[in-house]
Structure 1
Amino acid sequence: MTDSASIGSDEPVPFTIDDFAARLRRAADAAAAEGLDGLLVTPGPDLLYLTGYAPVAITERLTLLVVPVDGEPSLVVPKLERPDAEEAAGAVALRLLDWADGSDPYATAAPLLGSGRYAVSDSAWAMHLLGLQDALPRTSYAAMTAVLPMLRAIKDRDELARLAAAGAAADAAYGEILKVRFAGRSEREVAGDLAALLLRFGHSQVDFTVVGSGPNGANPHHEIGDRIIDDGDMVVLDFGGLKHGYGSDTTRTVHVGEPTDEERRVHDIVRHAQQTAFEAVRPGIACQEIDRAARAVIAEAGYGEYFIHRVGHGIGLTTHEPPYMVEGEEHLLRPGMCFSIEPGIYLPGRFGVRIEDIVTVEPDGGRRLNGTPHEMAIVE
């Protein structure tokens, strides 16, 4: 049996004031390189990444980190949240400004901005962006992902350690789920087992537990339902969440009882496609080449029309973030990038197969952060 205590108890190295200061400098430099005047960061993964600050609740009250390309970063917060914000601001050497209920938060933020162009967190509330536009009509804005998609893409050593720990915990959950009974139970019941295992092996948050059995597996966005899993079903298991603040995401496709020759063949094609894409990983090639490598294998085998999604997405503080392994994405792979490789074949009304690992780019190629076997597992 896997030792859940050892997997769940490893503590990550805390991020330091120097880590956050370096991230803020890189963010300002990246904004300057894109001709921007700075970044406007609202609660969510960007704020957490740059400051370590995660407000207790994201509400209609304005919280805004202003990172100018030149000058001192400032954090604007509601007065009632100032005590929590002071702890984060002190740890990152931010200037802190607050505003009280009944006052205009945009008037507090406006002096920190000029009449320039700023990148704004994708998660910013529209009401806040419109409020800033009213206060500063000559200032313009662009979505962070559109202008600075690689802001969080390059992981440092401590981030990679957290991602590796999350991947190992997800692997441990997979090892245990193979021991439970599938036949005669609902997808929802098996998904509940998976969620409990992720928590058992150290996840603080379960984001998804996909159990797609039989024809449900042919829908890539099927999550769970009340369908009773039967002998002879192919079952897609896709699950993940957060451990130590960083994401896991892995997929394996299992079979209840002995598979048919066709099911084995389709699974082998997907396995080959996943391996081929992994072997294509190296610094300096475009993200789209990873998608192309997997897609070519599936197309050559005659199933190209049944591979209907991109081959991968970045992962870090969230389970989906840039970079994306998709046709048209020309950003170059760099050491420290982490992303999924998850090709699939989906035969409508029949079954689906998907195999997914998280991969990080190293100077000489790629390294998997998932280590469970790719061969089809037979379950009861």
Structure 2
Amino acid sequence: MIKARLAKLRALLKDRELDGLLVTLPANRRYLSGFTPDDGQWGESSGALLVSRNAALLLTDFRYQLTAQVQAPLLETVIYKQGLAGEVARQAKRLGLKRLGLEAEAMLVAWQQRLMKELAGVELKATDGLVSRLRVIKNSKEIGALKKSLALMEQVLATVLAGEIVGRSELELARAITRTLEDQGAEGVAFPPVVASGPNAAEPHAESGPRVIQAGDPVIFDVGARLEGYCSDISRTVVAGGLEAADEQFRRVYALTRRAQLKAYEDIRPGMTGAQADAIARQVISQGGFGERFGHSLGHGVGLATHEDPRVGPHASDLLRPGMVFTLEPGIYLPGWGGVRLEDMVLLEDMGCTRLGSLDWFYDLA
């Protein structure tokens, strides 16, 4: 699989008249090599790949030498002792590279300046999404990994939703989700769990905080696991204390959000752009009178990263193709009251969307 991915990348390099590509985005690095370490803090790096038309190097330091040799046996491991930029320069000279691509989406200005200083005589070309274009179509093994990640997340979320949440804080529930995922074998959460209750739920990506959940609160759970490197992402909105505690605003907003999600699920087809797919759900919400309160995209790709291509939003030109996995997550957010978001991961197939999960925790209001 790694050999096939490298071959596809090399074909792209040839098309763009590049002698090589420096791969610095961690998800791309893992995709092309199997090397799993994260970069840690901002500005740090556990390594980079240098892929040319006839070589593939994993450049890393002493901390990861054994890991690199075990996880990336198809690549030549090079241990640098005096910084990544200097080693890239040495290897570029050895390989005879004249035009080297850089990943614009994963290149700090400081790193670029060091490379420019070290790589005198090598033309550096910013590239955008070369490896992402390869990652966007998932093979059967990747789809299986995504399903496993999602199944684990759904199992943990179902347990939380089946319990009592009134009287518990958002942060308490978020921490419980994280602990349970790790106890059940996940590498960790794909992103910090969002548990947003009452008026806090009017913020789409609210941070879970000390607020204690009260009966009648709308509560958004937006959670994801990471398993075997692959992420999951799912959202459910519930009423604390049960549907009988819901006000009429919740019933109206929830029903409209669910109709928008179902409409998108039923109507999205290969060949649409991300903007056309987004418009299917957005029209439902706009016609219901809440268009201005649906302020984010309908969805995004999920894979080795929680947010990746394809983009499914009002300005997305991405062409949707079979084999893509993305979310459908319409939402409505009302300041001072709260919000509703419903999110599922789907696989686009020849005839339309197939849900990857099975958590049918929905109110029958649509």
Contact 1:291 1:310 in 2 (8 A): yes
Query: In the alignment, is the contact (CA less than 8 A) between 1:232 and 1:259 conserved in 2?
Result: yes
CA distance, structure 2, for counterparts of residue 260 and residue 96 of structure 1: 61
Where do residues 127-206 of structure 1 align in structure 2 (5 Å cutoff)?
A: 127-137=110-120, 138-145=122-129, 149-206=132-189
1:249-293 per-position Cα deviation (integer Å, ceiling 9, x unaligned): 100000023212221111010001111111233222212222111
6, 10, 22: which is aligned to 1:40?
22
Mapped contact 1:355–1:374 kept (Cα < 8 A) = no
Aligned to 2:240: 256
- Report SS of the residue matched to 2:327: strand
User: So what's the TM-score if we normalise by structure 1?
Assistant: 0.86
User: Residues 41, 376 of structure 1: CA spacing in aligned structure 2 closer, same or farther, 3 A cutoff?
Assistant: same
User: CA-to-partner distance for each residue in 1:168-200, whole Å, 9 max, x for gaps?
Assistant: 111111211122221122111122222233334
Q: Map residues 98-109 of structure 1 onto 2, 5 A cutoff.
A: 98-101=79-82, 104-109=86-91
1:54 aligned residue (36, 54, 68): 36
1:224 and 1:291 mapped to 2: Cα distance?
28
**What is the Cα-based RMSD across aligned positions, in Å?**
2.5
Provide the C-alpha distance between the structure 2 equivalents of 1:143 and 1:377, rounded to a whole number of angstroms: 47
Cα deviation, 1:91-147, whole Å, max 9, x if unaligned, reads 22x2343433489424323313633251426334444322221133451232443x5
Flag structure 2 segments of 5+ consecutive residues without an equivalent: none
1:71 pairs, out of 54, 57, 78, with 54
- Provide the C-alpha distance between the structure 2 equivalents of 1:357 and 1:348, rounded to a whole number of angstroms: 24
Per-residue CA distance 1:197-222 (angstroms, 9 max, x = gap): 33344322012211110100000120
Counterpart contact for 2:5–2:32, Cα < 8 Å: yes
- C-alpha change, 1:262 and 1:82, in structure 2 (3 Å) is closer
Is 1:272 paired with 2:254?
no
Given candidates 83, 107, 120, the residue that maps to 2:103 is 120
User: 1:62 Cα deviation (Å)?
Assistant: 7.6
- Secondary structure of 2:360 counterpart: coil
Task: Return the offset for 1:82.
Answer: 3.6
How many positions carry a matched residue from both structures? Answer: 356
1: distance between equivalents of 2:25 and 2:202? 36
Deviates more, 1:306-315 or 1:252-261: 252-261
Is the alpha carbon distance of 1:337 and 1:306 closer, same or farther for their aligned partners in structure 2, counting shifts above 3 Å? same
Equivalent residue letter for 1:99: Y
Corresponding residue number in structure 1 for 2:308? 321
2:355 counterpart of 1:368: yes
Q: Unaligned stretches of 5+ in structure 1?
A: 1-18
Given candidates 94, 97, 102, the residue that maps to 2:78 is 97
Paired residues of 1:313 and 1:323 also in contact (CA < 8 A)? yes
TM score, norm. by length of structure 2:
0.89
| Residues in 2 aligned to 1:271 and 1:374: alpha-carbon distance in whole angstroms | 12
